[in-house]
Amino acid sequence: MFRVITAVTLTLALGGAASISAQSTTPKEETKKAGEATKDAGKDVAKAAKHAGKATAKETEKGAKAVKKAVTGDAHANCVDGTRQEAKTEAAAAALCDGHGGVKKS
């Protein structure tokens, strides 16, 4: 039994040393790996910033549309003289065209 334990211990010790020496790298290789990792991280940051910018632009556009609807109303009517009247309802917008020659027929 003592011989088996000694043999297993010796095998593990030598096997572990072999794996450690096989995995060692030079400082130059480590620097190269660090540079590649930094490059990838920079790309990820740029991609994240790009997506954040797009999201901000979309939200700004939605907000601008909501403000426009709140100010100008949801309904509109095109008048004969070429103006466009807007109000809360279609009937109210058509009524505003009375002073502009009436509602333009399509």
Write out the two tokens for 33.
Answer: 């790996």
**What pLDDT score does 14 carry?**
64
User: Rounded to two decimals, what is the model's pTM?
Assistant: 0.33
**Dist CA 6 CA 24 (whole Å):** 27
**What pLDDT score does 16 carry?**
55
Q: Determine contact, residues 50/56, Cβ cutoff 8 Å.
A: no
**Dist CA 8 CA 84 (whole Å):** 92
Low-confidence ranges of the chain (pLDDT < 70): 1-2, 8, 10, 12-24, 68-73
**What pLDDT score does 10 carry?**
65
Q: Determine contact, residues 61/79, Cβ cutoff 8 Å.
A: no
Q: Determine contact, residues 76/84, Cβ cutoff 8 Å.
A: yes
